[in-house]
Structure 1
Amino acid sequence: MKISDIETHVRGNILFVAVRTDSSVVGIGESACWAYPEAVASVVETFAAALRGTDPRRIERHWHLMWRMGPFRSAIVGAALSAIDCALWDIKGRALGVPTHELLGGAYRDRIRLHAIIDGADAEQLGRSAARAAAEGFTAVKFDPLEDTWIDHSTGEIAARAVERATAVRDATAGKVDMIVEVHRSLAPHQIPALLDGLRPLRPLFVEDPIQIDTFDVQTGLLAHGVPLGLGERWQSIWEVREALAANGPFIVRSDVTLAGGISAARKIAAIAEAHHAQVSWHNWLSPVSDAATLTVDATIPNTLTHEHAPAQLAAFGDAIRTGWRVDEGYMVLSDEPGLGIEVDFARLPEAGDILHRQLHEIPFASDGSVAFAR
């Protein structure tokens, strides 16, 4: 079996990859670098030139070929490599007629705990969303505690309103549902103590990405406040995770399978986390393709905490992407279909405006005209 071609398909901010072979087996992958899909597609084309005519089953060799091809690293390179790596694992499972998770040591668990992403314009609406999720069987939910106007709020006001929202979620679920509080790297370090001190009595499962990702020691140093943190959504390699865990870990590792090196690297990240007694809850927020790749890893590692579940985002693809993974009362039942367990009809994919489509200039500005961080 040889790779005959590698195609890219961009829809909105999502880049899909199709790796085709001379035996008609096709593997599908996806990139999580939603800000620059065209740039990722360009790198995929560079990698494709080196991979055409090679055996797609030599996945580890191909991973290092792509990583070492040039002495440069970036989210764009990591995303391109990740998409191809996931597609190669899809091919291997399809060619052997087994789910890819069977090739990764087999299923560690029978089903995977989900955390549902919920939203609401205010605390009351957020509480209702949490109650609905609990009624559907979810035992964990994730939400953003910041209002749209957060950038002009005082530190105390940011903390107070976040605590109000988190309290509404706790009360609506009688404290029986774990809370993940997603801050989207929006705050500065001086704003974090008030937020974490306010959230601590509510015992969140973890607070995700409270500050920007640029310094490992500052991020992990926030663990000293005694609230579990989830970090790593934008990290791009196993080495970044190792450095961060070695600094002040453990924390909940939030790397993205379709950004940080694909299934191959995700397995290594999970092992590094395990060596630090850290659990993993991968970032996962695009299509059923990235969902399936992430679930494939979740199914096979011992330290999966929860899997991120975004029902509205997944449903936006309709029947253009068919998946063998099935939700059952807050858990995901493992697919028994070959490969990653997905089928994609590229001709029927929704147009850009119907799925994830975000302009880079859609970032917040403060009332004084200064630029905040994109969320």
Structure 2
Amino acid sequence: MKITKVTPLMLDRYLLVQVETDAGITGLGESGAWGFLEASKSAIEKFGRYLVGEDPLRIEHHWQYMYRFSHFRGAAIMGALSAIDIALWDIMGKHFDTPVHQLLGGKVRDKARVYYHVFGDTTEVLTEGIVDAKERGFTAVGHLTPFLDEDRDVPYFKTHADKIGDAIETVRGYREAVGTGVDLCIEIHRRMTPTEAVQLGLGIEEFHPYFFEDPVTPDNFDEMEYVASKINIPIATGERYSSIWEFEMALSKNAVQYVRPDVCLVGGISGGRKIAALAEARHVGVVPHNPLSPVSTAACLQIAATAPNFALQEYPIGEDVPPKSNMVTGMAEHDGNGYLTISDAPGIGLELKPGAIENCPETPREVITRLHADGSVIDQ
């Protein structure tokens, strides 16, 4: 069997890849370099020129070849490599008529617990979203910020006391709205300095968050270690990391209690399973990052199925416009009790729908970020 064609596909806000073979088997993957999909698309095309004529089943060899041929990497390159890796695993599963998780050693669980995305630019809207998620059967809610999803066109300003105090009271309101029947995954989106993050972490500890996600930027592992050492809430981080070595550095510093590998950014299923194993050796949980399409969800579920230390899966259906069901067949669905059933279909279990490109036209992401009231750039 040989690879005959590698095609990047821009659908809605997502970059998928199709890898075709002379055996009539097609694999589907996705890049997680969402801020720079155009660059990642070019990298897919470049890798494709190498892959045509190659055996698709030599996944690890191709991974090493693409990763190590150049002196330069980064998110756009790793997103492309990840998309291709997922597609090659999809081909291998279809070739052997078995799900990818069977090729990785078989399932250790039949379903994956998920957390629902909640969005809103007011505390009231976010709180209503948490209550709605509970009523729909979800037992965990994420993308849950105490700072609101405000428009990036609106300049930001709060005094320190207001910033920390309002955030604490917001989390208090979330907990009071749903009791202890829903786990709260508190998302900071790297908006705080290390000292601010410690103050907020100590202030919301009594509400027992499931985790405190990305309190500071990922640029300095020592800063995350500092925050983790000062608070009693598990730190979740890793969605911006693009290699197993970054995760190893964070783990070695005890800077993370839940790793958040993006399977579409860290080297695909191959990279994701290695990161899960690194975390398992330290009794650290795995919460795969997944703000993307159903292809990403299906790839993440292969890790969820096989990693003993899997904890929770991000499930991004809170902003399902246009419906992700327009893209593929076979997508995982919520069972009404907080879980996704893990498919036993061959490969990752998906097929691109006829007309998907027409039904999900490309929506480019423009360069826009939020400014402080004084005109300087802030993180959001």
Q: Does 1:325 align with 2:326?
A: no
Aligned match of 1:220 in 213, 219, 225? 225
User: Are the counterparts in 2 of residues 113 and 306 from structure 1 also a CA contact under 8 Å?
Assistant: yes
Q: How many correspondences in the alignment? A: 371
Q: Which TM-score applies when normalising by structure 1?
A: 0.94
Question: Hey, what does 1:163 align to over in structure 2?
Answer: 168
- How far is the alpha carbon of 1:250 from its aligned partner? 4.4
Distance 2:223 2:59 in 1: 35
The within-5 A match list for 1:1-375 is 1-142=1-142, 143-147=144-148, 148=150, 151-224=156-229, 225-314=231-320, 316-328=323-335, 329-345=337-353, 347-349=355-357, 350-352=359-361, 357-360=364-367, 362-373=368-379, 375=380
The residue identity in structure 2 corresponding to 1:286 is L
Q: Give yes or no for contact 2:185–2:212 (8 Å, CA) kept in 1.
A: yes
TM-score, L = length of structure 2: 0.93
In 2, distance between residues paired with 1:369 and 1:333? 47
CA distance in 2, matches of 1:352, 1:156: 44
CA distance, structure 1, for counterparts of residue 260 and residue 270 of structure 2: 16
Look up the SS of the partner of 1:16 in the other structure.
strand
SS in 1 for 2:102: helix
Distance 1:5 1:241 in 2: 33
8 Å Cα contact 1:288-1:323 kept in structure 2: no
Equivalent residue letter for 1:338: P
Unaligned runs of 5+ in 2: none
Q: Offset of 1:122 from its aligned partner?
A: 2.7
After superposition, the C-alpha distances for 1:291-335 in whole angstroms (9 at most, x for unaligned) are 110111111110111000111445622333112423112101111
CA RMSD in angstroms, aligned pairs only: 1.7
Q: Does the 8 A contact of 2:236 with 2:256 survive in 1?
A: no
- CA apart distance, 1:150: 8.5
Residues 144 and 182 in structure 1, CA contact (< 8 A), matched pair in contact too: yes
Q: Distance in 1 between matches of 2:311 and 2:361?
A: 32
SS across alignment from 1:337: coil
Structure 1 CA distance for aligned equivalents of residues 300 and 350 of structure 2: 12
The answer to whether the Cα contact below 8 Å between 1:13 and 1:35 also exists between their aligned partners in 2 is: no
Deviates more, 1:246-255 or 1:234-243: 246-255
C-alpha displacement of 1:217: 1.3
- Report which stretch shifted further, 340-349 or 329-338: 340-349
In 2, are the aligned partners of 1:40 and 1:80 still within 8 Å (CA)?
yes
Contact 2:8–2:41 (Cα < 8 Å) also in 1: yes
CA distance in structure 2 between the partners assigned to 1:347 and 1:9 by the alignment: 12
Over 3 Å counting, the alpha-carbon distance change for 1:346 and 1:220 in structure 2 is farther
Aligned with 2:9: secondary structure?
strand
Identity of aligned residues (%): 38
Contact 2:189 2:215 in 1 (8 A): yes
Q: Which amino acid aligns with 1:207?
A: F
Whole-Å Cα distance in 2 between the matches of residues 38 and 372 of structure 1? 25
Shift in Å, 1:343: 1.1
